[in-house]
Amino acid sequence: MSSEKEKAIVISRQERGHQDNKQPLSSLLPLPHLHSVSPGSACPPSDQVFLQAAAIFQQLGRVKPEPHQVLQYENRTDTPPHSSDDKATQKQAYQLAFNTLKYQDLLEAVIFDSFFHKSQNIYSDLLPLAMVMLYDFQDRRFLLRRRPAEGEQKAVAEVRDLEKCLQRWKVKLAASLARFRVKHSLRSVSCFLSDSLRTKEHRAKSLPFYAWVNTLNSSLDEICEILQSANLSEVKNMADLTGSTFSKDPLCPDTLIFSRSLCKPLQSSALTTTHVLNIQDRSVCLAVSVSQPVLFDRRDVLVAGSFSALTVAHVAAAAAARSGRVLVCGADHTPVQTEEMKNLLSQMEIKNVKVLPAAFCRLNERDIAVQRLKVIIVLPQCSSSALNDPVTTMHSEHGDWNLLPDLSHGSISKSKIFSLTTQQARLLAHALSFPKVQTVVYCTRSVCPEENEQLVGRVLEKTHTHPKLLPFRVNGPIFPDDAASGDETDSRFFRLQPSQFTNGCFIARLSRQVDPTKVESVQDVLARAAAKGLLGGIISEPSKPAKKSKRKKKRVASSTSRPSSPSSQEEPEAAEISDGVDPAPPSEDEDKEGEEKEGEENEAEGKDSKTKSEKKKKRKSKRNQKQSSDAASLKNQAKGQKKKAKRKVNPSQHSKPRRIPRLTLTLMSAEKPSRHLSPITALAHKISGKPVKKLEEDSAPVLEKHLSHAQSAPQTASERKNMQPEEEERNLEKQRSRSGNVRKTQGAPTAAGHILPPISSPSGSVARPQSPTSSHQLASSSSASLREL
């Protein structure tokens, strides 16, 4: 790389204001030229790798029934195999043990057919070591292992002695292998495996690897310029990858793809050792990429399940762009894993990660640490059946090594699937139980429906959502529009099938959403908003219509039976104003029905001990006998008026005057009234000018108050002459007869207490004020007809 680009492309901590002892990335440049390395030139296993692989094979090897046992191994112990502190050695040992498990039957047949274990006096405790060394020996085509120089590695006597025995017996071992291939018609040793295992093994040898860029220190474009300066060229499609090319991941915006031959040189480069580039499986990178669009500003995201320190760092880098924080439950990991996580975060200078002391399933919504939690990423332990090479991912993401025997045969037992799905459902259900969480991302590296869409659907059906919260629903991942990578996607879930370019995975993103099949009305939306308190009292709760109508009936009944005081005149008006609609003037039939109903209601007030059934019977009998019901209703009205007249009424409580309907005012004040006038209107016109006795002195203030709010009715002789004599005369005779009966019952003081509000004059007519005497005369003549209405 030229010196000008080295100075221009600086990914340093000095520019960010860090004054620490760590060297900037510019000092790691120039980047050495990266040259591809063939897979066959990998370093052979060391003595320590053989010992660890033998211990892993003995622990995980498949135990056959006694009639089918070819070799007698030493009894298996429950203690886990000793793991080396060196990550590379541990990974290589598990890889060797996994390959030996895949070819266990073939290797046992070769040792038994060549009499190797009997001729070389190989005891049962050394048979696991002989199995792993024989696999490596035949994989190198029975060539000698290139040993490291003295002092670089510690020599193990058992390994060196067994290696010499294999060299002495290699001809017979090769002959036994050839006979086995002929017997089973195998074109190669790999044909011994099933088609699915052989395909995965072939893909794993040429599978490209993925590395995400630490965006806290650099950008994707800057890293691409550095790689191009190291004689690497960028290609658009990952299918065009060769030994000296790289490509950008179309689904992950911060991830680069490299060919398998560049893995070793890039791992030893400064970009990887300083964690500017971080090699990781694509399935984990996709889970973080799906979570990025749903992150909230200054909110938390929690990672639950089984994952590595690199996964936490990747999520923290994505959350830092939104000033968010990452939560990790430390009780779900071993102390070694927690310490490894803290060390890596310290090296990468990531400070937005908080390790909680509690386990994830013990957290609840009331914990202070999760009050800002909005997103949860669930990465549970899975069967890893979608991985071409499960050892690499399981080693980096702390997978379950007990799955290797099932994976070596290409199928997972039902008991393992049941135990895995139980734990996965527990994690997912607990993630959906937080009310403040808006999105849950669920990711597995499995092709089993029991771990993927079936589990998600089952958990969603059993999840109970609070009525004030929206339920969780499956929401497809959001990826760039130009992500034409041949991956299988649909609207609900994201499935990435294993191929020669990538491992497989399954991702489900669950978000709180409204049911798209349910059409919600405006009233439902307003009711839910009012229940949450979002309207702030703008819309009050709707009152019950049944109670309101019942209350209105009681108020109207009490107003008809109460004396004609100012308060009694204003109460019916308040009911009319509350309805907001002026009632139409009643007809003659309606007046008769109203009189019957009022008499029945007053009778119910006077006789509270009567049951509802008795009232119904009386109503039927009174409908058949109209004449008797009229007399009984008048008598009950008189009784109710005497009782209610004793009550004290405060006139100051009622401030609004009674409002007379517009249609009634027009008909009453017209010079030529209509033939279809109501009885009360005709009565008002007829008796408006007749003299009456003077009022008592205590009723004068009340009269003056009503006269101030209304205009006087026209009392000219021409107006009275224009009235229809025949029809009005009949109505007046009826009303006078009824009013006479009431006067006999009530007496003069009660009749004088009822006042009819003055009638306002129509537009264009001249109104003259009435005297108190004429107003009382009008009231005394029409008091009985008002009560009957």
Indicate the annotated binding residues for S-adenosyl-L-methionine: 332
How far apart CA 581 and CA 22 sit, in angstroms, is 83
Q: Is residue 659 within 8 Å of 770, Cβ to Cβ? A: no
Look-up: residue for tokens 């013990």? 362
How far apart CA 713 and CA 736 sit, in angstroms, is 21
Q: Cα-Cα-Cα-Cα dihedral of 158, 161, 163, 169, to 10°? A: -130
Determine if the peptide bond prior to 480 is cis (ω within 30°): no
Q: Tell me the pairing of strands 300-305 and 373-379.
A: parallel
* Three-state DSSP class for residue 646: coil
| Burial of residue 95, with CB atoms counted within 10 A of its CB: 0-12 exposed, 13-18 middle, 19 or more buried | buried
Look-up: residue for tokens 């029934």? 65
DSSP 356: E
Look-up: residue for tokens 């004030």? 468
The type of residue at 489 is T
Whether the CA torsion 555, 557, 559, 563 is positive or negative: it is: negative
Look-up: residue for tokens 């792993």? 132
Report how far apart the first and last C-alpha atoms of the chain are (Å, whole number).
Answer: 106
Give the annotated binding-site residues: 332
Query: In whole angstroms, how far apart are CA 740 and each of 592, 595, 683?
Result: 18, 16, 14
Tell me how crowded residue 231 is: count the other CB atoms within 10 A of its CB.
12
Look-up: residue for tokens 């009305």? 521
Q: Cα-Cα-Cα-Cα dihedral of 631, 632, 633, 634, to 10°? A: 50
CA angle 459, 463, 466 (to 5 degrees): 160
How far apart CA 702 and CA 569 sit, in angstroms, is 12
Q: What is the DSSP string of 544-564?
A: PHHHHHHHHHHHHHHHHHS-S
Look-up: residue for tokens 């659907």? 457
How far apart CA 551 and CA 571 sit, in angstroms, is 12
Tell me how crowded residue 638 is: count the other CB atoms within 10 A of its CB.
21
How far apart CA 361 and CA 358 sit, in angstroms, is 9
Helix or strand run (H / E) with residue 511: strand 505-512
* Three-state DSSP class for residue 431: helix
Whether the CA torsion 530, 536, 541, 542 is positive or negative: it is: negative
What would the two tokens of residue 569 be? 């005149």
Whether the CA torsion 183, 185, 186, 187 is positive or negative: it is: positive
Measured in residues, the chain has a length of 789
Look-up: residue for tokens 């070694």? 336
Residue among 510, 371, 508, 379 nearest 438 (CA) = 510
Q: Is residue 668 within 8 Å of 714, Cβ to Cβ? A: no
How far apart CA 418 and CA 454 sit, in angstroms, is 13
How far apart CA 413 and CA 578 sit, in angstroms, is 74
Q: Alpha helices, DSSP H only, in 230-365? A: 263-267, 270-273, 282-291, 309-320, 335-347
Q: Is residue 616 within 8 Å of 537, Cβ to Cβ? A: no
How far apart CA 782 and CA 774 sit, in angstroms, is 13
Look-up: residue for tokens 């929401």? 475
What would the two tokens of residue 549 be? 């109508």
How far apart CA 509 and CA 439 sit, in angstroms, is 7
